[in-house]
């Protein structure tokens, strides 16, 4: 049995794509989509990354994160360029949910950048500006 509810992700896909389009993101242009997967077991995550790559996704290097409760998890992004089409997103969600279930990792949805009139170019985005890092030492 799946730990992920595909219907919830289909609804997320629909609502997020509608919001992007309503905000003016150009649905005719491909968007870089970053699907997020995480697990406390690095070996399981690595196997999921291999399967995601075989399924046609570009895979980032795994990162280690420390959660608020002190638990350590590992995560990676499975990246693909797609137009904003809910049916295509649902197919990709199904692929990644199956991979997540196979390896007992957590599929945590996806994100993308706004593309259209007034969108910032990636080199214009400065990660450090106006962000209050909890771990900053003054």
Instruction: Provide the CATH number for the domain around residue 109.
Output: 3.30.70.970
Domain-located, residue 135 = no
Domain-located, residue 130 = no
Domain-located, residue 132 = no
Domain-located, residue 51 = yes
Mean pLDDT of 2-31: 88
Q: Which residues contact residue 114 at a Cβ distance below 8 angstroms, ignoring those fewer than 6 apart?
A: 20, 23, 24, 25
* Full residue range of the structural domain in which residue 11 is found: 6-124
Domain-located, residue 31 = yes
Answer whether residue 128 shows pLDDT above 80: no
Domain count, the chain: 1
Give the 3-state secondary structure of residue 79. Answer: strand
pLDDT at 122: 53
Domain-located, residue 138 = no
Domain-located, residue 129 = no
* pTM for the whole structure: 0.80
Answer whether residue 81 shows pLDDT above 60: yes
Domain-located, residue 133 = no
Exposed/middle/buried for residue 9 (C-beta within 10 Å: 0-12, 13-18, 19+): buried
């Amino acid at each position: 049995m799946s730990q992920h509810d595909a219907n919830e992700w289909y609804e997320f896909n629909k609502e997020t794509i509608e919001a992007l389009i309503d905000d003016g993101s150009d649905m005719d242009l491909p968007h870089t989509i970053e699907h997020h997967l995480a697990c406390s077991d690095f070996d399981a995550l690595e196997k999921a990354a291999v399967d995601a790559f075989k399924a046609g996704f570009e895979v980032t290097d795994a990162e280690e994160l420390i959660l608020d409760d002190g638990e350590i998890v590992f995560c990676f992004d499975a990246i693909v360029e797609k137009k904003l089409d809910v049916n295509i997103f649902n197919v990709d969600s199904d692929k990644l949910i199956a991979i997540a279930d196979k390896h007992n990792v957590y599929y945590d949805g996806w994100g993308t950048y706004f593309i259209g009139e007034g969108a910032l170019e990636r080199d214009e985005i400065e990660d450090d500006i106006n962000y209050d890092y909890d771990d900053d030492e003054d």
